[in-house]
Amino acid sequence: MRERALPSRLEPLFWEHDSSQLRWDVDRDLIIGRILTAGDWESIRWLMDALGRPALRAWIEQRRGRGLDPQQLRFWELVLGLPHHEVSQWIEASDPVWVGRRGV
């Protein structure tokens, strides 16, 4: 992704930061994670356009889904074609409450 400023509509997601100081090369994980966990559909579309599906999939896989809740992981499993068994393992590893639950 080229160096690009965050759109002003994303600023509320980064309320504890000076969004004008956020830089993709330094704050990449923060930006991606915050948009995936708290962003609306327009924010996610911006991220997918800026990053691309393969890079977004790689980011989620490298982090083994950390920071995303089970519903978010299942959504991205479908959208990005993540392996079901791997997503299930990430969910189980993140919170033992989900172990043995059907459909998760």
Q: Is the pTM of this model over 0.75?
A: yes
Contact indicator for 24, 31 with CB cutoff of 8 Å: yes
- The per-residue pLDDT for 26 is 87
Domain boundaries, given as residue ranges, for the chain: 14-98
d(CA 54, CA 95): 27
Q: What is the reported pLDDT for 1?
A: 46
- The CB-based long-range contact list for 47-52 (8 Å cut-off, 24+ gap) reads 50/1, 50/4, 51/1, 52/1
Per-residue confidence (pLDDT) for residue 21, from 0 to 100 = 84
In order along its 104 residues, the chain shows pLDDT tens digits of 445 668 888 989 998 988 788 888 889 999 999 999 999 999 999 999 999 999 999 999 999 999 999 999 999 999 999 999 999 999 998 766 655 565 55
Q: Which residues have CB under 8 Å from 10's CB, separation 6+?
A: 19, 35, 39, 43, 46
- 82-63-58-28 Cα dihedral, nearest 10 degrees: 140
